[in-house]
Structures are given as C-alpha cells and as structure tokens.
Structure 1
C-alpha cells in the first residue's frame, strides 16, 4: 500500500509519515500543501489513502478535500487536524472524507486508523461518532457491523476468525472491538461479551 501525508508543518508531516511507514509497513509520500499533494497523486497514481491537513495552504476549507477526492480516483481521502471542531469533522465526512484524524492520536492508533480507512471504512474519534447520525440500532446503540463483531466475540472467535466471517481486514475488526467496547463501557472483549449477554444485545 502507499499513503500520502500532506501537512504544511515540516515536523508534523515528517513525524506522522515516519511512524505510519514504520508501524504500518507501507510506502509513505509527503507533501507540504494541497498543490503538492495533487501533483503527487498525478505523478504517482491514486494512493490507498491520502491524509490532508485541514488548515494547510490551498485547502480553502473543504474545497481542497473535494479536489483531492476527485484526483485520487475514488480511493480514500481523510482530513487531518489538530484543532478542527466536531461540526467541521461531521461536514468533512458528509462531503466524502474517509475520516477525521486528530493529530493528537498516538502512533499505534494513527496507524490503525489509517489502515482502517484504506480498507474503505469511515474513521472518526468516538466522541465525534456518537453525534454523527451513523445508523445505529435503537435498542443496542451499535451499528450493524459492531453487532456482528460483538456476536463473534460472544461466540469466542478471534479477531482473525471474525474478519474471515465477514470478509474484513483484521485491523478493521480491532477498531470495531475498540469502538463497541467504549459504547458498552466494557474493559475488554470478554467484558463486552458479558455485558452483551446480560443486556440481551445478541
């Protein structure tokens, strides 16, 4: 896989690019503004994931997002930001972004989020997701995919087995486990399964 990280702050751009490349075992290309990012896409072909800093030169709000999505041939493009509001994150995802990634995410979480989006899933921090109108079951408060993953956990299946059952990547399952555990206030996957049984969620 190959990713593109575009940010006008040299240290931030290089740091994010470095730990995604190291932790994620992918090729990472860097750009300092939107024009450089679009040029890189033109020269290298579509990237598996493009991360765009919301405030860098050329973005003009979410206008730059639309340009990058069009240039990247339908492959995932996400917004990276250290300060954007919840409403901006919601607007970006409605506009077609693959996700909203805070620069404050830890390296392992950043890599997991990047891989998650590269597989075609939408990523946003939990406190954003809660208010974004994503389809959730009224009874359980979980999305259909989270319920499927929870059912797999309750059946004692590993992430790899659950991924195989639903034709997902293992990293995607890991993120769903993390999200549903937060929603259920579960300490770990075993606790999540216990809560699910107690509340008759599955």
Structure 2
C-alpha cells in the first residue's frame, strides 16, 4: 500500500503549491488535503500509511500550538512539518516542543519546499538547542497527554465548564473530572488554575 501525506492549510493556492512539492518528492503518494484543523484530525485518524503531515500554524480551529499538539497526540509516530509565514519562524521552532520536526516558510521556493519534505520523510531533522529548559520540560509533559486529555485541557483554556466540555466531547462530566485529575498529575500541578497557567505559558490558549 502506498504512503499518504497530509497537507493541512486553509489557503487553497498554498495547498496546491505544497501538493506540487510533495508529488515531486513522492510521485506515488496519496495526497490528503484539509482546510481546517478538525478536517485534518479526521484525516489523521482515518489515513492509511500516513508518513508526513504539513501543517499551517494558523489553521482555523487552532490556537497557539494546539494544532501541532493535537495532531501529534493523534499520531505521535507521524512527523509534522510546520508551515507558516517567514516572520513566524521562531514560533515554528518553538512548535518542535509539541512534535514538529521542521519548518517551511510560505515565501520559500518550490525546491526548498521539496527539500524540507524529503528531509522530513527520510528522518533528517534539524537539532535545536533548548531555549528554555523549564518550558521544554512542561512542553514534554503536555506532548505526553492523550488526545482526549489534550482536548479537555483546551476546553479549560477556552473557559468552558466541565459540563460544556463533556457535551463538546460526548463524554460524561465524571469522565471530564477524571481526565483533569490525570492532566494535573502528568503536568505535576495541583489545581485547575495551575494547569491553565502551565499551558498558557506554552502558547496554548489566549
């Protein structure tokens, strides 16, 4: 079965450019396109032999690095290439904390895009020096959350009540509370407010 590559960007013209670059590198790969974060998450859950995700940081439905974190939680074995405007390169480097392996600037040429895609597919990831050891430590804990735990945390960050989060995720309030207990344990915090502050410090949430 051939491999598949997910291209998640809300701009059709840029999705087309990324598709061209991906097809140059992997002519036989199935290209899956997504214009929103929810569509991308559905694609990740249903894709066969997904070998790479190209993700726009500013996707509709994403806030901060939540898109990277959610896609990484759904498929931690699939490398993520962050796609963003050139001025957002620092943010793209920070997204590595949540599972991104590289960066494609929207002002880069087609050959540069092709090389970045090839490097990611072949496991050639640039090493980056830690910028903030304390933040890196917490980020690693956030990246270790399950997809549902991450969604619960994002619901908390959005200011939603347990019953609202339960409705959003089609689970019970008791299950939301159980997830919050697990989240606080994983993040090594002692209450809901501390969990929110920890995640906000990482760019997840307003």
Please say whether Structure 1 and Structure 2 have the same fold, judged by a TM-score greater than 0.5. yes
Residues 48 and 76, structure 1, Cα contact 8 Å, conserved in 2: yes
> 1:42 pairs with 41, 45, 64, which one?
45
Q: CA deviation at 1:83?
A: 4.3
Structure 2 counterpart of 1:81: 84
Give 2:107's aligned residue: 104
Partner of 2:18: 16
- For residues 23-38 of structure 1, what are the structure 2 equivalents within 5 Å? 23-25=25-27, 26-38=29-41
Instruction: Please give the residue correspondences for 1:59-74 in structure 2 after superposition, counting only pairs within 5 Å.
Output: 59-74=62-77
Structure 2 vs 1, CA of residues 41 and 86 (structure 1 numbering), >3 Å: closer, same or farther?
closer
1:117 and 2:117 correspond: no
1:133 to 129, 149, 157: 129
In the aligned structure 1, how far is the partner of 2:41 from the partner of 2:30? 17
State the alpha-carbon separation in 2 of the partners of residues 80 and 66 from structure 1: 15
1:98–1:122 CA contact under 8 A, matched in 2? yes
Q: CA deviation at 1:115?
A: 1.6
RMSD of the alignment, in Å? 2.0
Higher relative CO (CA 8 A, sep ≥ 6), structure 1 or 2? 2
Aligned equivalents of 1:107 and 1:3: distance in 2? 17
Give the equivalent residue in structure 2 for 1:154.
none
Q: What's the CA shift for 1:95?
A: 2.4
Segments ≥4 residues shifted beyond 3 Å: none
TM-score normalised by length of structure 2: 0.56
Q: Which runs of 5+ in 2 are unaligned?
A: 131-206
- Matched residue count: 127
Describe the shift of the 1:66–1:46 C-alpha distance in structure 2 as closer, same or farther (beyond 3 A): farther
Given that 2:5 and 2:51 are in contact with CA atoms closer than 8 Å, whether structure 1 keeps it comes out as yes
Checking the alignment, whether the CA contact within 8 Å between 1:33 and 1:56 is kept in structure 2 is: yes
Report the Cα distance in structure 1 between the residues aligned to 2:41 and 2:14, rounded to whole angstroms: 19
- Asked if structure 2 preserves the Cα contact closer than 8 Å seen for 1:4 and 1:49, the reply is yes
Shift of 1:46: 5.2
